[in-house]
Structure formats: C-alpha cells, structure tokens
Amino acid sequence: MPALMVFAASVLWGSGGLFVSALEGFGLTNPEMTVVRLVTALLAMSVLLAMRHGGLAHVERADWPRFLLLGTVGSFAFVLLYNYAISITGMATAAVLLYLMPSLVTVWEVMRGREYLTFGRIVSLGLSLLGCSLVSGMWGGGAQLEVVGIIIGLAAALCYSLQNVLQTSLGRRYPTSTVVFYNIALATACAFVYLLITETSLDFLAIYIANPVALVVNIGFGLFDSVLALMLFNAAIKRMPVTQASIIATNEPVAAAVLGAVFLGQALTAFTVAGIACEVAALVLMKLTK
C-alpha cells in the first residue's frame, strides 16, 4: 500500500506538464501559475487542518529550523533551481540530474545508520536512473551539456534530496497534514517574494478574470500536484524506507511521458519504452529484495 501511494504521487507530479501546458496557453508564466497553485494548496490545507484539529497545528520551537529548510530550500529553491536547469540544459539533462536524488538520499540514510545498502537496492537505483535518462531523451540526442546548467541541476537534486530527508524526519514527530501545511505555507511566502521581485505588476490576475477556465485549471494544479501528491508521499514514508520511496518516485518522468502521449499527442520513442521497462524492472526488483 505505501508503495502504491508513492507511485500515485509520482503520477500526479508527472501530470504537472498537462497543467503547465494548458496554463501557458492562457499566457501565464511559471512564477504566476506557481503562486496561484501554492495559494490554492495553502487554503486547502488550512481547511483540512481546521477540520481535523480545530485549528492550525503547533510546531515545537526546536523544529522550526527544519521546517524553514523544508519550505524554503527543500521546496521553493528546488522548484526554482530545477526550472532554471531546464531552461539552460533542456528537460533531458535536468531530469537525469534531478533523479540522482534517490542515490543521494540512500547515501545519507546509510551514513546515518538508518538503512542498509543491499545489492538489490544498488541495482534498483541503477535501473531507475537508466530508465529516467532513457525517458528524458538523453540517449537520443536530447541532452544539452552546459556547465552552469549542470551545476544548477545538481543543486536542484540536493534540494530535492533535502526535501525527502526532512519530510521523513519531521514525519516521525508530526502528522502528515502538519508537515505538508508548513511546507506549502513557507514555499508560498517565498514564491510571493520572488514574484514581487521579478514581476513589475500583478496584471496577470486579469487573465483569470477574463478566462475562468484558467483559474479552474490552476486550482486543480494546486489540489492534485501539491496537496494530494504531498499528502500521499508523506503518508507513505511513515510506513516505508525513504530510500525505497525515492526510487519509486523516479516514475514521475515515465508518467509525464505516458500522459503527454495520451493527452498531448507526444510521441513515445523506442528510448521511452525502454526507459519505462527499466523503471518497471527497478520496482519489481526492489519489491522482491526489500
């Protein structure tokens, strides 16, 4: 069940391209749709917390530094750096660099003595990374090797790894809804600051007024890609090792490729099919050797 929850979360994250494609069609930029997405997620989590606990969840003072790191570096900085890496190196290289994350998380957990490095897990990591590189197009000439972009991509992978590690440690002390709420709240604050710095005005809000469908799509983006996906992932890592969860999460580019083919008419190449096979093999091996 936890593995299925992580897989569902990876599919939801993989669907992000559908939302982005639709919103770009209305003339919205990445920072603009991100702010609306996060505000939607924050409002939804506020309602959820009010219904479950009668108010906002309390965080111990000693844990605030970790929550701050999770929301600012683990979430907001990760998205910002990853988007920059895509713009510099292209989707192929950025995706492969990002999914060094399972390896980084595994190394961290092994160094801390929380998990053990088995042969099956090493092979699963290798298969998942190979599958991601095949799906992203790296082996088909879709990669661009730019030094600055690679550095930024590696920084994004570090931020993503930090997000997974912090979600795991905080999940041991707080309910899933509490971790997700403060994560989204702090990321939203950072997104607002970034938007105010980079945007000369808030005229983009007129797009939502003129096109209510754009608002509906953006709200769906926040509910599915942020709230539901994060709730599923954080609930799952309470019940399974984060190293296994991070490997399963590498199915995100596979989901993106399949959904893109179904809904956007994007072609599935032989490399994509081979990559999907590698990801499936990694999941099966991990399940058999856990």
Task: Give tens-digit pLDDT for 63-89.
Answer: 999 999 999 999 999 888 877 776 676
Half-sphere exposure for 142 (CA within 13 Å, toward CB) = 20
Return the CA Rg of the chain.
19
Among 73, 24, 6, residue whose Cα is nearest residue 231: 6
Q: What average pLDDT does range 139-164 have in this prediction?
A: 75
User: How far does CA 249 lie from the centroid of its chain?
Assistant: 8
pLDDT at 94 over 70: no
pLDDT of residue 211: 94
**Which of 73-77, 158-162, 253-257 holds the top average pLDDT?**
73-77
Please tell me the distance from the alpha carbon of residue 103 to that of residue 121, in angstroms, as a whole number. Answer: 10
Percent of the chain surpassing pLDDT 90: 26
Binning pLDDT at 50, 70 and 90, where does residue 115 land? low
The pair of three-digit structure tokens given for residue 268, joined into one six-digit string: 């599935």
Residue 144 has pLDDT above 70, yes or no: no
pTM: 0.80
In terms of Cα–Cα distance, which of 226, 155, 219 is closest to 184? 226
**Residue 142 pLDDT greater than 60, yes or no:** no
